[in-house]
Amino acid sequence: MPEITREQVLQALSQVMDPELRKDLVTLNMIKDIAIKGPIVSFTVELTTPACPLRTQIQQEAERAVLAIDGVKSVNVTMGARVPEDKKIKDLSIKNIIAVGSGKGGVGKSTVAVNLAVALAQCGAKVGLMDADIYGPNVPIMMGIDALPLTPQGKKIQPAEAYGVKVMSIGFMVTPGQPLIWRGPMLHSAIKQFLMDVDWGELDYLIVDLPPGTGDVQLSLVQTVPLSGGVIVTTPQQVSFDDAARAVSMFKKMDVPILGIVENMSYLEMEDGNLRRIFGEGGGEQLARVAGAPLLANIPIDENIRVSGDEGEPVVLAEPDSAAAKVMMSLAQSVAARMSMEVRQ
């Protein structure tokens, strides 16, 4: 039986490409811990996120490549996840902070943030959700949570948790219906506390639901931690595009990579299968061209989204077979893939 060498394994794996990054696994330094015991070869493929949508494809292609080596009878592939040292966020055990923003209110930004967080958790990632919309905190209602757990004396604030996602919101700390009349310094203090004084633990993703616009909260967030990427939510009509374009400009000026655009309320599917473009069309595509980023999803108008948000169970869980839920799951996979590309650059 021919002796199998480490060099043969690396040569075989150098033919396996990461479909998103379009480079081979060896060049990307994704192959770790190669072990050879007779005809059995083991190694780890180190991804940048456990939510990688192409995880299974990469694993299967790596197995086939090594099995093709003369003398190999069995291949054991471990799929891991790690962020390079120079991409880690200092002072936090959080690999990626992704902000979900919009230029105006009422476009479904919080709905997208909530479902994105839950969908990523469903994919196996460790996820947190921070509601940074201080003036209009909707995340607690959408996640079905009304209070924080008790915080042990001398410890950091314990986040709430639902559907495998850790959650923090100012909504847990104020009387329902009570308006918050805060100016810049108070907003900055709240955002900093939500990031630094909450016991997030180790997270693959912290999804931040931003308030509408381009104001103090966005600036405070960037001043406190480096954002890994941003997702911008718009609707098809011109007025939404104009406002969302300002959010694109804001992210670019703050050197935040734009992972992509989400067009919400894109269409209504009629009983006969025809699609009605109630709010017009093309706004998402137009904004994607302006941003130089992909259009990640066209989310339909679907009653399931409204019902699930009101009842505190995100649509990806409440109605997983619905068209809206499938689009949301696909969105999460696209965001994970885009984030993986950013981390590897």
Confidence (pLDDT) at 240: 82
- On the question of pLDDT at 32 being above 90, the answer is yes
Confidence (pLDDT) at 126: 94
Q: At 230, is the pLDDT very low, low, confident or very high (cuts 50, 70, 90)? A: very high
Joined together, the tokens standing for residue 241 give 């595009």
Confidence (pLDDT) at 87: 63
Confidence (pLDDT) at 222: 78
Instruction: Give the pLDDT confidence of 128-152 residue by residue, as tens digits.
Output: 999 988 777 889 999 999 899 988 8
**The tokens 């907003």 sit on which residue?**
187
CATH 3.20.20.70 at 6-82, yes or no: no
Q: At 26, is the pLDDT very low, low, confident or very high (cuts 50, 70, 90)? A: very high
Q: At 179, is the pLDDT very low, low, confident or very high (cuts 50, 70, 90)? A: low
342's CB contacts (< 8 A; 6+ apart) are 228, 229, 257, 259
DSSP 255-270: T--EEEEEE-S--EE-
Residues of the chain with CATH 3.30.300.130: 6-82
User: Which residue has better confidence, 36 or 219?
Assistant: 36
Confidence (pLDDT) at 217: 77
Residues of the chain with CATH 3.40.50.300: 86-344
Confidence (pLDDT) at 20: 75
CB count in 10 Å sphere of residue 23: 12
Instruction: Give the pLDDT confidence of 35-67 residue by residue, as tens digits.
Output: 999 999 999 998 877 777 778 889 999 999 999
- On the question of pLDDT at 184 being above 70, the answer is no
Confidence (pLDDT) at 181: 60
Angle between helical axes of 55-67 and 6-13 (0-180°, round to 10): 130
308's CB contacts (< 8 A; 6+ apart) are 314, 315, 317, 318, 319
Confidence (pLDDT) at 304: 92
Confidence (pLDDT) at 162: 97
Angle between helical axes of 109-122 and 323-344 (0-180°, round to 10): 80
Question: How would you write 5-68 as a 3-class SS string?
Answer: CHHHHHHHHCCCEECCCCEECCCCCCEEEEEEECCEEEEEEEECCCCCCCHHHHHHHHHHHHHC
38's CB contacts (< 8 A; 6+ apart) are 1
327's CB contacts (< 8 A; 6+ apart) are 297, 298, 299, 300
Confidence (pLDDT) at 52: 73
Instruction: Give the pLDDT confidence of 237-279 residue by residue, as tens digits.
Output: 888 888 888 888 888 888 899 999 999 999 998 888 888 998 8
* Amino acid at site 328: M
- On the question of pLDDT at 344 being above 90, the answer is no
DSSP state of 303: H
Secondary-structure class of domain 86-344 per CATH? alpha beta
Average pLDDT, rounded, for the chain: 88
Q: What are phi and psi of 137, to 5 degrees?
A: -75, 105
Dihedral angle of Cα 217, 218, 220, 226, to the nearest 10 degrees: 150
User: 268: closest CA among 259, 276, 256, 260?
Assistant: 276
pTM, 2 dp:
0.84
What is the SS3 assignment for 111?
A: helix
Confidence (pLDDT) at 244: 85
Instruction: Give the pLDDT confidence of 84-117 residue by residue, as tens digits.
Output: 666 667 778 899 999 998 877 888 999 999 999 9
Confidence (pLDDT) at 175: 65
